[in-house]
């Protein structure tokens, strides 16, 4: 009487084993997709010392339809550091859309005390803060050098993050000012002077008239020197 029961048990285990074996396989495939997505996200703009992590939101049904090694790309041109995004998984001629979310931790700058609108921000006016940036506004500042010396457009309370749209960049060089020109390349380095033809902030493009009367353009450095574009 025990033999039929034994056969039923063996048959049940035999057919059940592939089901249990498929669980680690599905988990491994999901982990592999997450790793590929995190690598893809790192290729996008990643200012400051930001660490971003990916959580795949696709359903088991969506994941099971994707091939083992898809080509991944990001849908759209969303430049947010965090939030929900969509990945496009290509398997030959077929495309699958996989939702996922990005969380991020990083160090950003906040006001160390209350600041008035119109003030020029000094180093002592800001302090670094490290933590999650998931629920913070767009435009966080991750480099103190991009804040110090800029003018606040409106008041800022102590502890509030400094945002890009709260600052008006100060001109580093002004039209009519004598500026230092730098040009370098393989085997040469030249310094000269010229006259600025427009106002420009750091990293802006400045038009300059050289002492020889030639008009050139270059990029304004933090030290005020203008690096001439060699294609001219």
Q: What is the pLDDT of residue 27?
A: 81
Do the domains 178-228 and 106-168 match in fold? no
CATH 2.30.30.760 applies to domain 178-228:
yes
Q: Which fold has domain 106-168?
A: Type Iii Antifreeze Protein Isoform Hplc 12 (3.90.1210)
Query: Which ranges of 43-124 would DSSP assign to H, the alpha helix?
Result: 60-64
Tokens of 141: 């500042």
Task: Out of 3-7, 11-15, 184-188, 191-195, give the one with best mean pLDDT.
Answer: 191-195
Dist CA 144 CA 122 (whole Å): 10
Mean pLDDT to the nearest integer, 58-63: 90
Tokens of 203: 């990293």
How far is CA 107 from each of CA 19, 50, 217, rounded to the nearest angstrom? 45, 7, 35
Domain boundaries, the chain: 24-103, 106-168, 178-228
Which range among 16-30, 90-104, 115-129, 166-180 shows the weakest confidence by mean pLDDT? 16-30
Which of 32, 39, 23, 99 has its CA nearest to residue 67? 32
Q: Tokens 């030290």: give the residue.
A: 223
**Cβ-contact 57, 30 below 8 angstroms:** no
């Amino acid at each position: 009487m025990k033999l039929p029961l034994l056969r039923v048990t063996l048959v049940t285990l035999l057919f059940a084993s592939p089901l249990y074996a498929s669980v680690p396989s599905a988990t491994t495939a999901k982990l592999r997709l997450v790793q590929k997505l995190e690598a893809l996200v790192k290729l996008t703009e990643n200012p400051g010392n930001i660490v971003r992590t990916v959580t795949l939101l696709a359903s088991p049904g969506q994941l099971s339809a994707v091939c083992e090694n898809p080509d991944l790309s990001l849908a759209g041109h969303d430049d947010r550091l965090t939030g929900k995004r969509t990945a496009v998984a290509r398997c030959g001629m077929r495309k699958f859309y996989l939702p996922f979310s990005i969380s991020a931790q990083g160090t950003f700058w906040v006001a160390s005390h209350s600041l008035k609108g119109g003030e020029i921000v000094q180093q002592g006016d800001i302090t670094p803060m490290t933590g999650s940036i998931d629920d913070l506004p767009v435009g966080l500042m991750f480099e103190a050098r991009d804040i110090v010396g800029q003018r606040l457009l409106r008041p800022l309370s102590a502890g509030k993050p400094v945002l890009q749209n709260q600052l008006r960049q100060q001109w580093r060089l002004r039209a009519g000012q004598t500026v230092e020109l730098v040009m370098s390349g393989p085997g040469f380095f030249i310094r000269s002077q010229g006259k600025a033809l427009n106002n420009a902030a750091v990293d802006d493009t400045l038009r300059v008239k050289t002492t020889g009367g030639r008009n050139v353009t270059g990029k304004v450095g933090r030290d005020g020197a203008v690096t001439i574009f060699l294609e001219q």
